[in-house]
Structure 1
Amino acid sequence: MGARVAGLHVWVEDLMGMAVSIHVRSDSDTASVATEKAVASCFADLREIDRMFSTYRDDSDISRMARGELFEADADPRVAEVAQACREAEVETGGLFSAHWQGWFDPTGFVKGWAVERAARTHLEPLLADEIAVGINAGGDLQLFTAEGREWQWTVGISDPHRQGEVLATFDIRNGAMATSGSAERGAHIIDPHTGLAAARGVASASVVADSLTRADVWATAAVVAGFDERSWVSKAGTQTGMLVADDGRVTRWLGSTVIETVVA
C-alpha cells in the first residue's frame, strides 16, 4: 500500500507479525518506478527471511533445526551468517544477549533488526542517488538514511513508557538506526540468558541509537537485561546515543561512550 503527501511517500505491509513501513522523502510528488520496485523488493526480502527464521512456521529452517530435521550446514547460508553474528554478539555483550540460552539456537531476538537492516541497505539505501532520504520502520525499530548534501534529518520520538500517548524525548538522526526494548509495550518478554528468567532489573524502556539497526537492537536488549543501574556496557557498545527509562521513572541518557545525564523522577 502506498501513500503520497507532498514529496513524502509511505508504503506499509504487515510482516513478521507487525506493521512495517517504508518512507521515502523525494523532490517529486510521485514515486518513481525505480523507487516502487526497490520498495517491493525490500518487502519481498523480509517475507523470505520470515519464512526462513520464523519460530511460528513449522516449515521454517529454524523450526526444522529445532526438531533435528535440518543441520545448520545444510540450511540456507543466511542461517549460518545469523548464527555466527549471534555468537559474536553474545561475546561482545558479555552474555547479556544470547540466542542459545535455551540450549538450542533461537535467533528471535536478533533476526528482526538484522533482516530489516540487511533489506534496507540492499534495496533502499541505493535510492539516495535520486531521493532525499529513505527509511524503514519495523514495529518501532528504524533504519534511516539521508543523501549526502541534502538538508534533511529524521526526528524520532521516544514514547513515555509511563504515560501512554506522550513523547518523552526526541532524537534527530541523519544516518543511523534506533531500536527500543523493554517491558512497557509487551510486558516482561525479555529473558536474562544467565538465569533463564524474565529480565527484572528495573528498565521500563531502553532506546539505543547506532549506525546499524542490528547493533542497536542487540544493545537495547542487553540494556534491559543489564538493568537501569548497571551502565558500564555503554563505554564498549559503540552506539551513538540512547536513553534508559526506569520502572520508577528515572531517566538516563548517554552520548557515545559517556553517560551525560541522569534525571530522578
Structure 2
Amino acid sequence: MPTFSPRPVTFHAPRLLWSALPPDAQGWTCHTASFAAMGTACAFHIHGHETGDIQDAAMAALDEVSRIELRYSRFRSDSDLSAINRVASLGGSVELDEETAGLIECAALCHRASGGLFDITAAALRHGASLDRIGFGRLTWDKPRLTFQAGMSIDFGGLAKEYAVDRAVEMLRFQGVRHGLVDLGGDMAVVGPHPDGTPWKIGIRDPQDTRRPMAELTLGGGAVATSGNYERFATVAGERLSHIVDPATGRSPSGLMSVSVVADRCLAAGCLSTIGMLKGLDGTRWLAELGVSHLWQDENGRIGGTLGLG
C-alpha cells in the first residue's frame, strides 16, 4: 500500500514583484510583493522598517505557498494529489501523512455539515466523470488510510488555497512580521493591523462587474474567503460548469453568484463560503443561523448578509 508523506522537493518559486508606499511618520513602510500562484494573482502586504527583513519574510511565506501548491495541485502530474489519484483510479488504498490527513478530516467535517453537498470527489464531474463515481461516502476513511472505489478521484478545491493563506500568515509571523495581509486570489488573512492599529480595508468583488467592489469591509484580524460561480468554468456535454459542483446532480448550484465569509482562519471561511454557495438561496438562511459574518449576491443582483453594508 503506498504511503504519502511530506518529502524534500525541488521547485521554482514564483517571482516576486515589489512595490512600496512612502514611509509614514514613524518610519513604517508598506511593501507589496505580488506573484502568481495556484492559478491566480496573489500578494503579500507587509509593513516594516528593514527592507531586507521584509523580503526574507516574504520569500519564506512564498516558499510555503509553493510547497502546498506542489503537494495538492490537480494540474501537476508530479503533485502528491496526482499520485494519490493514480491509486484512486485503480480502486487502491493510500496511507496519508498528517498534513494531508488533516485536509481529509476537514473535508469529512464539511461533508457532514453541508448534508453531503461539500464533496471532494465531485470535481471529477467537471472532467466528464459519471455520477456513480462520485460521493464522499464511497470513500473509506480510516485515518490515516484512505481507500477508493475504482474510477474515483479527489480534489482539494475549497481547501488547499485557503489552507495556504493560513500557513503563509503563520510563516510571516514566525519571521517576525506583525503588520501585514496575505491575499491569494481574493482569499485573505490578516497578519496584523496597520502599525497605527487601523484595520485593513478590503473590497469584495462584484460578480456582475469584477472591475469594481460590491462592498468594502474592514478587517483588523482574522480572514475572509469568497466563493463564486462567475470566473472558473469547464464545459461538459455542452453544459458550462463552475468549479463548484453539486455532487447529487453534477451541475453547478443555482441561486447565488457569490458568498463571502469572515472567520478566524481562512480555511474555515472558505469552507463556509463554499457550503453557502452549494446550498443556493437556502445558504443565505444557513449562514445567518450560524451567526457568521457574511455577504452574498444572488443571480438577480440582490445583495445581503452582514458585511460591508452599513
TM, length-normalised to structure 1: 0.83
> Which structure has more RCO (C-alpha within 8 Å, separation ≥ 6)?
2
- Residue 98 of structure 1: which of 119, 134, 140 is its match? 119
5+ long unaligned stretches in structure 1:
none
* Higher mean C-alpha deviation, range 185-194 or range 8-17: 185-194
User: Counterparts in 2 of 1:1-265, with a 5 A limit?
Assistant: 1=16, 2-6=18-22, 7-26=29-48, 28=49, 30-33=50-53, 35-68=54-87, 71-73=93-95, 75-101=96-122, 102=134, 103-121=152-170, 123-126=171-174, 131=178, 133-146=179-192, 150-187=196-233, 188-200=242-254, 202-235=255-288, 237=290, 239=292, 241-254=293-306
Q: Find the residue that maps to 2:190 and give its secondary structure.
A: strand
Larger Rg over CA atoms: 2
Cα distance per residue 1:36-88 (max 9 Å; x no partner): 22211111111111111111111211111111188531x44322121112112
Superposition deviation, residue 163 in structure 1: 3.1
Cα distance per residue 1:91-120 (max 9 Å; x no partner): 223323121343432212211101221222
- The amino acid across from 2:84 in the alignment is M
Q: Conserved in 1, the CA contact under 8 Å of 2:45 and 2:180?
A: yes
Percent of aligned pairs sharing the same letter: 27
Q: Distance in 2 between matches of 1:95 and 1:182?
A: 19
Question: Which residue matches 2:147?
Answer: none
Superposition deviation, residue 148 in structure 1: 9.8
Q: Find the residue that maps to 2:284 and give its secondary structure.
A: coil
- The amino acid across from 1:213 in the alignment is C
Backbone CA RMSD of aligned residues: 2.5
Superposition deviation, residue 185 in structure 1: 2.6
5+ long unaligned stretches in structure 2:
1-15, 23-28, 123-133, 135-151, 234-241
Cα distance change on mapping 1:10 and 1:79 into 2, 3 Å: same
Q: Distance in 2 between matches of 1:168 and 1:139?
A: 17
Q: Conserved in 2, the CA contact under 8 Å of 1:219 and 1:237?
A: no
TM, length-normalised to structure 2: 0.72
Q: Distance in 2 between matches of 1:163 and 1:141?
A: 18
Give the paired residue count: 248
Superposition deviation, residue 157 in structure 1: 0.8
- The amino acid across from 2:64 in the alignment is D
Q: Find the residue that maps to 2:268 and give its secondary structure.
A: helix
